[in-house]
Amino acid sequence: MPVKSRFLCLVVAVQLLAGLLAAPAFAGEVHVVKIFNNAYKPRNLTVRAGDSVRFENWDPEPHTASASDGSWTSGPIAAAGEVTIAIVAGMKAGYICLYHPGMRGSLEVLE
């Protein structure tokens, strides 16, 4: 192989490696739950461990997405803000808004 070709192969290999290193720690699916009119849409979502869920707050007031048993929470999601949570195996499925307990949703986690 000519020297120039060997050099090009090395450059490509380094670029591939750099791309791998730059990849996120998990490559699961990103799901979106919109919060609008004091409701989660979709209300029920099926996800997998390794996925993430982005809660987008389209309301003019803050909300949370918090496990009904308190085991996980998004923390406050500001008006027009968003918070992404990572899905892990065994997460409590049912969640509520701590400010509006009538708001309910669920994340069914497939393993």
Residue 31 engages Cu ion in binding (rule: CB under 5 A): no
Residue 36 engages Cu ion in binding (rule: CB under 5 A): no
* Sheet strand arrangement including 44-48: 44-48, 104-110, 94-96, 66-67
Question: Among 16, 80, 99, 101, which residue sits at the site for Cu ion (rule: CB under 5 A)?
Answer: 99
Stretch that binds Cu ion, among 7-15, 20-28, 47-55, 58-66 (CB under 5 A): 58-66
The span from the CA of 2 to the CA of 8, in Å, is 10
Is 50 or 76 the residue whose CB approaches Cu ion more closely? 76
Question: Among 97, 105, 107, 109, which residue sits at the site for Cu ion (rule: CB under 5 A)?
Answer: 97
Question: Among 63, 65, 105, 107, which residue sits at the site for Cu ion (rule: CB under 5 A)?
Answer: 63
Residue 65 engages Cu ion in binding (rule: CB under 5 A): no
Instruction: Note every long-range contact of 26-32, with CB atoms under 8 Å and residues 24 or more positions apart, other chains counting.
Output: 26/50, 26/52, 26/86, 28/52, 28/87, 30/54, 30/84, 32/56
| Contact set with Cu ion (CB under 5 A) | 63, 97, 99-100
